[in-house]
Chain A
Amino acid sequence: MVGWVVKEEAVSIEEVREILDEASQVVVYSHRLQQKSRELEAATAELRQANERLTELDRLKDDFVSTVTHELRTPLTSIRAFTEILLEDPEVEAEQRRKFLGIITKEAERLTRLINQVLDLSKIESGKADWVATQVDMKEVISDTVAAMEQLFKEKNIEVEARLPERVSSVTVDLDRMIQVMLNLLSNAVKFCDGLNGRVEIALSERDGSLRVDVCDNGRGIGAENHEAIFSKFHQVGNTLTDKPHGSGLGLHISRQIVEHFGGRMWVESSLGSGARFSFTLPTGSQT
Protein backbone atom coordinates (compact mmCIF):
# COMPACT_ATOMS: atom_id res chain seq x y z
CA MET A 1 0.00 0.00 0.00
CA VAL A 2 2.75 2.43 1.00
CA GLY A 3 4.70 1.63 -2.20
CA TRP A 4 1.61 2.25 -4.27
CA VAL A 5 1.00 5.61 -2.61
CA VAL A 6 4.49 6.88 -3.38
CA LYS A 7 3.96 6.41 -7.14
CA GLU A 8 0.71 8.39 -7.20
CA GLU A 9 0.61 12.13 -7.23
CA ALA A 10 -2.62 12.92 -5.52
CA VAL A 11 -3.69 11.18 -2.34
CA SER A 12 -7.21 11.52 -1.07
CA ILE A 13 -8.07 12.11 2.57
CA GLU A 14 -9.61 8.64 2.64
CA GLU A 15 -6.38 7.10 1.48
CA VAL A 16 -4.31 9.05 4.00
CA ARG A 17 -6.63 7.85 6.75
CA GLU A 18 -6.23 4.29 5.49
CA ILE A 19 -2.47 4.64 5.47
CA LEU A 20 -2.46 6.09 8.99
CA ASP A 21 -4.72 3.31 10.16
CA GLU A 22 -2.42 0.72 8.73
CA ALA A 23 0.64 2.44 10.15
CA SER A 24 -0.91 2.55 13.62
CA GLN A 25 -1.79 -1.14 13.26
CA VAL A 26 1.83 -1.87 12.45
CA VAL A 27 2.89 0.12 15.51
CA VAL A 28 0.44 -1.86 17.67
CA TYR A 29 1.72 -5.15 16.23
CA SER A 30 5.28 -4.11 16.73
CA HIS A 31 4.51 -3.17 20.38
CA ARG A 32 2.82 -6.52 20.88
CA LEU A 33 5.78 -8.29 19.36
CA GLN A 34 8.14 -6.39 21.59
CA GLN A 35 5.97 -7.28 24.58
CA LYS A 36 5.95 -10.98 23.54
CA SER A 37 9.68 -10.93 23.03
CA ARG A 38 10.19 -9.43 26.52
CA GLU A 39 7.90 -12.07 27.99
CA LEU A 40 9.83 -14.79 26.20
CA GLU A 41 13.12 -13.41 27.47
CA ALA A 42 11.77 -13.33 31.03
CA ALA A 43 10.46 -16.89 30.69
CA THR A 44 13.81 -18.06 29.33
CA ALA A 45 15.64 -16.40 32.22
CA GLU A 46 13.23 -18.04 34.67
CA LEU A 47 13.77 -21.42 33.04
CA ARG A 48 17.52 -20.94 33.15
CA GLN A 49 17.33 -20.12 36.87
CA ALA A 50 15.09 -23.12 37.53
CA ASN A 51 17.55 -25.29 35.65
CA GLU A 52 20.45 -23.95 37.71
CA ARG A 53 18.50 -24.61 40.92
CA LEU A 54 17.78 -28.18 39.79
CA THR A 55 21.42 -28.77 38.90
CA GLU A 56 22.44 -27.47 42.35
CA LEU A 57 19.81 -29.69 44.05
CA ASP A 58 21.03 -32.65 42.04
CA ARG A 59 24.60 -31.94 43.15
CA LEU A 60 23.49 -31.66 46.81
CA LYS A 61 21.62 -34.95 46.48
CA ASP A 62 24.70 -36.62 44.97
CA ASP A 63 26.87 -35.26 47.80
CA PHE A 64 24.36 -36.52 50.34
CA VAL A 65 24.19 -39.99 48.80
CA SER A 66 27.97 -40.14 48.58
CA THR A 67 28.38 -39.09 52.23
CA VAL A 68 25.70 -41.50 53.44
CA THR A 69 27.36 -44.30 51.49
CA HIS A 70 30.72 -43.47 53.06
CA GLU A 71 29.19 -43.33 56.54
CA LEU A 72 27.43 -46.67 56.03
CA ARG A 73 30.48 -48.44 54.64
CA THR A 74 32.76 -47.37 57.46
CA PRO A 75 31.13 -49.29 60.38
CA LEU A 76 30.38 -52.16 58.00
CA THR A 77 34.11 -52.43 57.30
CA SER A 78 34.98 -53.06 60.98
CA ILE A 79 32.03 -55.43 61.40
CA ARG A 80 33.08 -57.51 58.42
CA ALA A 81 36.80 -57.50 59.28
CA PHE A 82 36.32 -58.60 62.91
CA THR A 83 33.70 -61.18 61.97
CA GLU A 84 36.08 -62.72 59.44
CA ILE A 85 38.94 -62.67 61.96
CA LEU A 86 36.82 -64.51 64.54
CA LEU A 87 35.39 -66.89 61.95
CA GLU A 88 38.71 -67.90 60.46
CA ASP A 89 40.75 -68.09 63.63
CA PRO A 90 39.14 -70.06 66.47
CA GLU A 91 42.34 -69.65 68.46
CA VAL A 92 41.81 -65.92 69.22
CA GLU A 93 42.27 -65.65 72.97
CA ALA A 94 39.25 -65.03 75.16
CA GLU A 95 40.00 -61.44 76.15
CA GLN A 96 40.69 -60.38 72.59
CA ARG A 97 37.62 -62.23 71.37
CA ARG A 98 35.50 -60.28 73.85
CA LYS A 99 37.07 -57.01 72.72
CA PHE A 100 36.43 -57.79 69.04
CA LEU A 101 32.83 -58.80 69.69
CA GLY A 102 32.39 -55.58 71.65
CA ILE A 103 33.60 -53.56 68.63
CA ILE A 104 31.28 -55.50 66.30
CA THR A 105 28.30 -54.74 68.56
CA LYS A 106 29.21 -51.05 68.89
CA GLU A 107 29.69 -50.62 65.15
CA ALA A 108 26.42 -52.46 64.43
CA GLU A 109 24.66 -50.02 66.78
CA ARG A 110 26.31 -47.11 64.99
CA LEU A 111 25.11 -48.45 61.66
CA THR A 112 21.55 -48.89 62.96
CA ARG A 113 21.52 -45.37 64.41
CA LEU A 114 22.70 -43.94 61.14
CA ILE A 115 20.12 -45.83 59.07
CA ASN A 116 17.34 -44.70 61.43
CA GLN A 117 18.46 -41.08 61.31
CA VAL A 118 18.78 -41.02 57.53
CA LEU A 119 15.27 -42.46 57.21
CA ASP A 120 13.99 -40.01 59.82
CA LEU A 121 15.56 -37.07 58.02
CA SER A 122 14.22 -38.10 54.64
CA LYS A 123 10.74 -38.36 56.16
CA ILE A 124 11.00 -34.88 57.69
CA GLU A 125 12.41 -33.34 54.52
CA SER A 126 9.83 -34.89 52.21
CA GLY A 127 7.04 -33.72 54.53
CA LYS A 128 6.01 -37.30 55.28
CA ALA A 129 6.85 -37.26 58.97
CA ASP A 130 3.95 -37.85 61.34
CA TRP A 131 3.78 -34.98 63.79
CA VAL A 132 1.56 -35.64 66.77
CA ALA A 133 1.10 -32.28 68.40
CA THR A 134 -0.18 -32.26 71.96
CA GLN A 135 0.08 -29.96 74.96
CA VAL A 136 3.51 -30.70 76.37
CA ASP A 137 5.08 -29.59 79.64
CA MET A 138 8.74 -28.99 78.83
CA LYS A 139 9.60 -29.28 82.55
CA GLU A 140 8.63 -32.93 82.35
CA VAL A 141 10.48 -33.50 79.08
CA ILE A 142 13.64 -32.09 80.64
CA SER A 143 13.42 -34.01 83.92
CA ASP A 144 12.55 -37.26 82.11
CA THR A 145 15.40 -37.02 79.61
CA VAL A 146 17.91 -36.00 82.29
CA ALA A 147 16.78 -39.00 84.34
CA ALA A 148 17.13 -41.29 81.32
CA MET A 149 20.71 -40.14 80.81
CA GLU A 150 21.65 -40.24 84.48
CA GLN A 151 23.56 -43.50 84.22
CA LEU A 152 25.69 -42.19 81.35
CA PHE A 153 26.42 -38.94 83.20
CA LYS A 154 27.54 -40.97 86.21
CA GLU A 155 29.74 -43.26 84.12
CA LYS A 156 31.46 -40.29 82.54
CA ASN A 157 31.73 -38.52 85.87
CA ILE A 158 29.74 -35.54 84.66
CA GLU A 159 27.81 -33.33 87.09
CA VAL A 160 24.31 -32.40 85.93
CA GLU A 161 22.01 -29.68 87.16
CA ALA A 162 18.59 -28.81 85.78
CA ARG A 163 17.26 -25.40 86.83
CA LEU A 164 13.53 -25.50 86.26
CA PRO A 165 11.02 -22.81 87.23
CA GLU A 166 7.94 -23.60 89.42
CA ARG A 167 5.69 -23.71 86.42
CA VAL A 168 5.76 -22.77 82.74
CA SER A 169 3.11 -22.59 80.03
CA SER A 170 2.69 -25.73 77.99
CA VAL A 171 3.71 -25.82 74.34
CA THR A 172 1.92 -27.52 71.45
CA VAL A 173 4.56 -29.89 70.12
CA ASP A 174 5.23 -33.54 69.37
CA LEU A 175 6.28 -35.08 72.69
CA ASP A 176 8.47 -37.83 71.20
CA ARG A 177 10.20 -35.33 68.94
CA MET A 178 10.94 -33.02 71.88
CA ILE A 179 12.41 -35.95 73.81
CA GLN A 180 14.53 -36.68 70.71
CA VAL A 181 15.79 -33.06 70.66
CA MET A 182 16.64 -33.06 74.40
CA LEU A 183 18.42 -36.44 74.20
CA ASN A 184 20.43 -35.19 71.24
CA LEU A 185 21.54 -32.02 73.06
CA LEU A 186 22.33 -33.90 76.27
CA SER A 187 24.33 -36.63 74.53
CA ASN A 188 26.27 -33.98 72.58
CA ALA A 189 27.07 -32.28 75.88
CA VAL A 190 28.32 -35.59 77.27
CA LYS A 191 30.50 -36.15 74.19
CA PHE A 192 32.02 -32.71 74.49
CA CYS A 193 32.95 -32.85 78.16
CA ASP A 194 34.01 -36.47 78.20
CA GLY A 195 37.07 -36.83 80.44
CA LEU A 196 37.19 -33.17 81.36
CA ASN A 197 35.56 -32.98 84.83
CA GLY A 198 32.41 -32.28 82.97
CA ARG A 199 29.50 -30.20 84.12
CA VAL A 200 26.19 -29.84 82.28
CA GLU A 201 23.50 -27.30 83.20
CA ILE A 202 20.01 -27.25 81.78
CA ALA A 203 17.83 -24.18 82.20
CA LEU A 204 14.22 -23.55 81.27
CA SER A 205 12.68 -20.09 81.17
CA GLU A 206 9.64 -18.31 79.77
CA ARG A 207 9.50 -14.86 78.27
CA ASP A 208 7.44 -12.91 75.72
CA GLY A 209 5.29 -15.82 74.64
CA SER A 210 8.03 -18.36 74.25
CA LEU A 211 9.87 -20.99 76.25
CA ARG A 212 13.61 -21.16 76.11
CA VAL A 213 15.75 -24.19 76.90
CA ASP A 214 19.51 -23.86 77.40
CA VAL A 215 21.90 -26.79 77.62
CA CYS A 216 25.34 -25.62 78.76
CA ASP A 217 28.46 -27.71 79.05
CA ASN A 218 32.00 -26.88 80.11
CA GLY A 219 33.52 -29.04 77.39
CA ARG A 220 35.89 -28.39 74.52
CA GLY A 221 33.67 -25.77 72.89
CA ILE A 222 33.12 -24.97 69.22
CA GLY A 223 34.89 -22.25 67.23
CA ALA A 224 32.74 -19.47 65.74
CA GLU A 225 33.51 -20.70 62.21
CA ASN A 226 31.56 -23.87 62.98
CA HIS A 227 28.51 -22.37 64.71
CA GLU A 228 26.28 -22.67 61.66
CA ALA A 229 28.03 -25.62 60.03
CA ILE A 230 27.30 -27.99 62.92
CA PHE A 231 23.60 -27.69 62.11
CA SER A 232 24.18 -28.87 58.55
CA LYS A 233 24.12 -32.52 57.53
CA PHE A 234 27.13 -34.65 58.41
CA HIS A 235 29.17 -31.81 59.81
CA GLN A 236 30.94 -33.00 62.91
CA VAL A 237 33.43 -31.19 65.04
CA GLY A 238 35.77 -32.98 67.31
CA ASN A 239 39.37 -33.27 68.26
CA THR A 240 40.56 -34.19 64.78
CA LEU A 241 44.11 -34.91 65.94
CA THR A 242 43.21 -37.72 68.27
CA ASP A 243 39.77 -39.10 67.98
CA LYS A 244 36.72 -38.93 65.80
CA PRO A 245 33.45 -37.91 67.37
CA HIS A 246 31.09 -40.85 67.28
CA GLY A 247 27.68 -40.10 65.92
CA SER A 248 25.99 -39.82 62.61
CA GLY A 249 26.46 -36.10 62.09
CA LEU A 250 22.72 -35.74 61.61
CA GLY A 251 21.50 -35.17 65.19
CA LEU A 252 21.68 -31.38 65.36
CA HIS A 253 20.40 -30.99 61.81
CA ILE A 254 17.32 -33.05 62.67
CA SER A 255 16.86 -31.31 66.05
CA ARG A 256 16.85 -27.88 64.47
CA GLN A 257 14.32 -29.01 61.85
CA ILE A 258 12.04 -30.31 64.62
CA VAL A 259 12.24 -27.07 66.64
CA GLU A 260 11.64 -24.98 63.51
CA HIS A 261 8.67 -27.15 62.57
CA PHE A 262 6.98 -25.94 65.77
CA GLY A 263 7.89 -22.30 65.14
CA GLY A 264 10.97 -22.16 67.33
CA ARG A 265 14.66 -21.42 66.79
CA MET A 266 17.84 -23.28 67.73
CA TRP A 267 21.36 -21.88 67.96
CA VAL A 268 24.69 -22.24 69.73
CA GLU A 269 26.94 -19.85 71.62
CA SER A 270 30.44 -21.09 72.22
CA SER A 271 34.13 -20.53 71.73
CA LEU A 272 36.93 -23.07 71.54
CA GLY A 273 38.04 -24.29 74.93
CA SER A 274 35.29 -22.69 76.97
CA GLY A 275 32.21 -24.87 76.69
CA ALA A 276 29.07 -24.48 74.66
CA ARG A 277 25.51 -23.29 75.23
CA PHE A 278 22.89 -24.80 72.93
CA SER A 279 19.55 -23.00 73.12
CA PHE A 280 16.18 -23.37 71.54
CA THR A 281 12.86 -21.60 71.83
CA LEU A 282 9.29 -22.75 71.37
CA PRO A 283 6.27 -20.45 71.14
CA THR A 284 3.74 -20.95 73.95
CA GLY A 285 0.92 -19.36 72.05
CA SER A 286 0.11 -17.09 75.01
CA GLN A 287 1.70 -13.69 75.50
CA THR A 288 2.91 -13.36 79.08
Chain B
Amino acid sequence: MTKKILVADDEPSIVAAVEYLLQRDGYEVHIARNGQEALDLVESQVPDLVLLDVMMPLKSGYEVCTRIRERAEWNHIKVIMLSAKGRDAEVIRGLSLGADVYITKPFSTRDLMMRIKGLLDPPTASRAP
Protein backbone atom coordinates (compact mmCIF):
# COMPACT_ATOMS: atom_id res chain seq x y z
CA MET B 1 0.00 0.00 0.00
CA THR B 2 1.24 3.48 -0.84
CA LYS B 3 2.46 5.27 2.27
CA LYS B 4 1.21 8.78 2.94
CA ILE B 5 3.64 11.52 3.93
CA LEU B 6 2.76 15.02 5.08
CA VAL B 7 5.38 17.69 4.39
CA ALA B 8 4.95 20.76 6.61
CA ASP B 9 7.29 23.62 5.75
CA ASP B 10 6.81 27.30 4.86
CA GLU B 11 9.79 27.43 2.47
CA PRO B 12 8.38 26.79 -1.02
CA SER B 13 11.77 25.72 -2.49
CA ILE B 14 12.42 23.16 0.24
CA VAL B 15 8.88 21.82 -0.13
CA ALA B 16 9.42 21.51 -3.90
CA ALA B 17 12.63 19.49 -3.41
CA VAL B 18 11.23 17.15 -0.76
CA GLU B 19 7.97 16.69 -2.70
CA TYR B 20 9.91 15.70 -5.81
CA LEU B 21 12.06 13.17 -3.89
CA LEU B 22 9.10 11.58 -2.13
CA GLN B 23 6.98 11.29 -5.27
CA ARG B 24 9.96 9.85 -7.13
CA ASP B 25 10.17 7.10 -4.52
CA GLY B 26 6.46 6.36 -4.79
CA TYR B 27 5.00 8.04 -1.71
CA GLU B 28 1.68 9.91 -1.61
CA VAL B 29 2.54 13.49 -0.64
CA HIS B 30 0.45 16.15 1.11
CA ILE B 31 1.73 19.68 1.71
CA ALA B 32 1.10 22.07 4.60
CA ARG B 33 2.47 25.65 4.53
CA ASN B 34 2.03 26.36 8.24
CA GLY B 35 1.49 24.62 11.57
CA GLN B 36 -2.28 24.94 11.57
CA GLU B 37 -2.60 23.49 8.08
CA ALA B 38 -0.32 20.66 9.17
CA LEU B 39 -2.65 19.73 12.05
CA ASP B 40 -5.71 19.96 9.81
CA LEU B 41 -4.09 17.60 7.31
CA VAL B 42 -3.01 15.17 10.02
CA GLU B 43 -6.65 15.08 11.10
CA SER B 44 -8.10 14.61 7.59
CA GLN B 45 -5.38 12.44 6.01
CA VAL B 46 -3.84 10.59 8.98
CA PRO B 47 -0.45 10.25 7.23
CA ASP B 48 2.06 7.49 8.02
CA LEU B 49 4.82 10.03 8.47
CA VAL B 50 5.11 13.80 8.98
CA LEU B 51 8.15 15.81 7.89
CA LEU B 52 7.93 18.77 10.22
CA ASP B 53 9.76 22.09 9.96
CA VAL B 54 10.26 23.72 13.38
CA MET B 55 9.90 27.44 12.54
CA MET B 56 6.51 27.72 10.84
CA PRO B 57 3.86 30.43 10.93
CA LEU B 58 0.76 30.08 13.14
CA LYS B 59 1.96 26.96 14.99
CA SER B 60 5.55 25.82 15.43
CA GLY B 61 6.70 22.32 14.59
CA TYR B 62 7.19 21.70 18.33
CA GLU B 63 3.54 22.50 18.92
CA VAL B 64 2.34 20.34 16.04
CA CYS B 65 4.46 17.43 17.32
CA THR B 66 3.04 17.80 20.82
CA ARG B 67 -0.54 17.79 19.46
CA ILE B 68 0.15 14.68 17.39
CA ARG B 69 1.59 12.83 20.38
CA GLU B 70 -1.41 13.76 22.56
CA ARG B 71 -3.78 11.58 20.54
CA ALA B 72 -3.51 7.81 21.06
CA GLU B 73 -4.94 7.04 17.60
CA TRP B 74 -2.05 9.01 16.07
CA ASN B 75 0.53 7.03 17.99
CA HIS B 76 1.68 5.16 14.88
CA ILE B 77 2.44 8.39 12.96
CA LYS B 78 6.20 8.80 12.57
CA VAL B 79 7.54 12.31 12.98
CA ILE B 80 10.77 13.61 11.45
CA MET B 81 11.71 17.14 12.48
CA LEU B 82 13.58 19.07 9.83
CA SER B 83 15.07 22.24 11.14
CA ALA B 84 17.61 24.91 10.38
CA LYS B 85 17.89 25.31 14.15
CA GLY B 86 20.57 22.78 14.89
CA ARG B 87 21.74 23.48 18.42
CA ASP B 88 21.82 20.55 20.85
CA ALA B 89 19.12 22.09 23.02
CA GLU B 90 16.75 22.29 20.05
CA VAL B 91 17.46 18.72 18.95
CA ILE B 92 16.84 17.47 22.48
CA ARG B 93 13.63 19.48 22.71
CA GLY B 94 12.33 18.03 19.43
CA LEU B 95 13.13 14.47 20.45
CA SER B 96 11.69 14.92 23.95
CA LEU B 97 8.39 16.09 22.42
CA GLY B 98 8.12 12.76 20.66
CA ALA B 99 9.81 13.23 17.28
CA ASP B 100 11.35 9.99 16.01
CA VAL B 101 14.22 11.68 14.20
CA TYR B 102 15.64 15.22 14.16
CA ILE B 103 17.46 16.25 10.97
CA THR B 104 19.35 19.51 10.65
CA LYS B 105 19.08 21.59 7.46
CA PRO B 106 20.84 21.45 5.08
CA PHE B 107 20.59 17.67 4.89
CA SER B 108 21.79 14.97 2.53
CA THR B 109 18.81 13.96 0.40
CA ARG B 110 20.01 10.35 0.35
CA ASP B 111 20.21 10.31 4.16
CA LEU B 112 16.73 11.81 4.44
CA MET B 113 15.20 9.23 2.10
CA MET B 114 16.95 6.38 3.94
CA ARG B 115 15.66 7.63 7.30
CA ILE B 116 12.13 7.81 5.91
CA LYS B 117 12.37 4.33 4.45
CA GLY B 118 13.82 3.04 7.72
CA LEU B 119 10.89 4.43 9.73
CA LEU B 120 8.18 3.27 7.32
CA ASP B 121 9.57 -0.16 6.43
CA PRO B 122 11.59 -1.26 9.45
CA PRO B 123 14.12 -3.98 8.69
CA THR B 124 12.49 -7.40 8.92
CA ALA B 125 15.53 -9.16 10.43
CA SER B 126 13.66 -9.98 13.66
CA ARG B 127 11.16 -12.12 11.77
CA ALA B 128 11.64 -15.89 12.14
CA PRO B 129 13.58 -17.45 9.25
Within 8 A of B (CB), among A57-102: 66, 69-71, 73-82, 84-85, 88-89, 96, 100
Q: Does B106 reach chain A (CB closer than 8 Å)? A: yes
Cβ 8 A contact of A103, one of B10, B16, B87, B110: B16
SS class, residues of chain B in contact with chain A: loop
Across the interface, do B17 and A241 meet the contact criterion of CB distance under 8 Å?
Answer: no
Across the interface, do B84 and A85 meet the contact criterion of CB distance under 8 Å?
Answer: no
Within 8 A of A (CB), among B44-99: 55, 57-58, 84-87
Across the interface, do A69 and B84 meet the contact criterion of CB distance under 8 Å?
Answer: yes
Residues on B with beta carbons closer than 8 Å to the beta carbon of A96: 20
Across the interface, do A85 and B12 meet the contact criterion of CB distance under 8 Å?
Answer: no
Across the interface, do A76 and B17 meet the contact criterion of CB distance under 8 Å?
Answer: no
Across the interface, do B109 and A84 meet the contact criterion of CB distance under 8 Å?
Answer: yes
Across the interface, do A70 and B11 meet the contact criterion of CB distance under 8 Å?
Answer: no
Residue among A71, A80, A96 with the highest chain B CB neighbour number at 10 A: A80
Beyond A70-B85, A244-B10, whether A81 also contacts B34 by CB under 8 A is no
In chain A, what residue has the closest Cβ to B16?
Answer: A103
In chain A, what residue has the closest Cβ to B82?
Answer: A77
B-contact bits for A148-170, CB 8 A (1 contact / 0 none): 00000000000000000000000
Across the interface, do A244 and B12 meet the contact criterion of CB distance under 8 Å?
Answer: yes
Residues on A with beta carbons closer than 8 Å to the beta carbon of B16: 78, 103
In chain A, what residue has the closest Cβ to B109?
Answer: A84
Total interface residues in chain A, CB < 8 Å = 28
Min CB gap A58→B, angstroms: 16
Across the interface, do B85 and A66 meet the contact criterion of CB distance under 8 Å?
Answer: yes
Interface residues on B, range: 20 to 34
Count A/B pairs, Cβ under 8 Å.
78
A107 to B17, CA, bound (A): 13
A69 to B87, CA, bound (A): 10
Across the interface, do A85 and B20 meet the contact criterion of CB distance under 8 Å?
Answer: yes
Beyond A81-B14, A81-B17, A103-B13, whether A73 also contacts B33 by CB under 8 A is no
Min CB gap A72→B, angstroms: 8
A240 to B59, CA, bound (A): 11
Across the interface, do B106 and A243 meet the contact criterion of CB distance under 8 Å?
Answer: no
Cβ 8 A contact of B21, one of A66, A85, A243: A85
Within 8 A of A (CB), among B11-28: 11-14, 16-18, 20-21, 24
Residues on A with beta carbons closer than 8 Å to the beta carbon of B126: none
Across the interface, do A76 and B106 meet the contact criterion of CB distance under 8 Å?
Answer: yes
In chain A, what residue has the closest Cβ to B33?
Answer: A242
A-B contacts, 24 of them at CB < 8 A, read: A66-B85, A69-B86, A70-B85, A73-B104, A73-B105, A74-B14, A74-B84, A76-B105, A76-B106, A77-B14, A77-B84, A77-B107, A81-B14, A81-B17, A81-B18, A81-B21, A81-B106, A82-B13, A84-B110, A100-B20, A107-B13, A241-B57, A243-B33, A244-B11
Residues of A at the B interface (CB closer than 8 Å) are 66, 69-71, 73-82, 84-85, 88-89, 96, 100, 103, 106-107, 240-244
Given contacts A69-B85, A81-B17, A244-B10, 5 further A-B contacts (CB under 8 A): A73-B104, A73-B105, A74-B14, A84-B109, A243-B12
